[in-house]
Amino acid sequence: MKRLLLIILFASQLSGCAGLGALALGSIVYYTSSQHKVATVNIKAKADNVYRVAVDTIENNTELEITSKNERERVIELVKETTKDSYAVSIKISKLDAGHSQLILASDARIDTDSHIASMKQGIFRICNELKVECHLSKS
């Protein structure tokens, strides 16, 4: 799990505040390596609100279990365990400015299945829907 947090921190340094101008709001961008999948999205919502919605969304999904959360840092660590999949996920929500935040989701990619990728997308879309903000897959 610590490795996933390092990936999140690295991704946030790459995309940081400058990403708000370069990356369209609501545009979900994926990065994949041999060991991790990372998704980022800039959201027009306060970081604390995004964090609360993310926690509520995860807690209402019976396939997910929060293993740790840090409200001050807005970090959530969880695992997904089903008969088909089992993997770890770390989520970090960063404040870009007073009304915008960035959600970074990093997942263990040892299991490379379509359902794994679909779960990541569905989670982000659920959070966006709860916040009533539009999110879409990046075209790039």
What are the extents of the domains in the chain?
A: 27-137
Q: Are 88 and 79 in contact (CB under 8 A)?
A: yes
What's the pLDDT at 3? 52
Q: What is the pTM of this model?
A: 0.79
Q: What is the pLDDT of residues 2-53, one digit of tens each?
A: 555 444 544 544 444 444 444 578 888 877 777 778 889 999 999 999 999 9
What's the pLDDT at 19? 44
Q: What is the pLDDT of residues 47-73, one digit of tens each?
A: 999 999 999 999 998 888 999 999 999
Rg over alpha carbons for the chain, rounded to the nearest Å, is 14
Does position 95 have pLDDT exceeding 90, yes or no? Answer: yes
Of the two residues 109 and 76, the one the predictor is more confident about is 76
CATH code of the domain occupying 27-137: 3.30.530.20
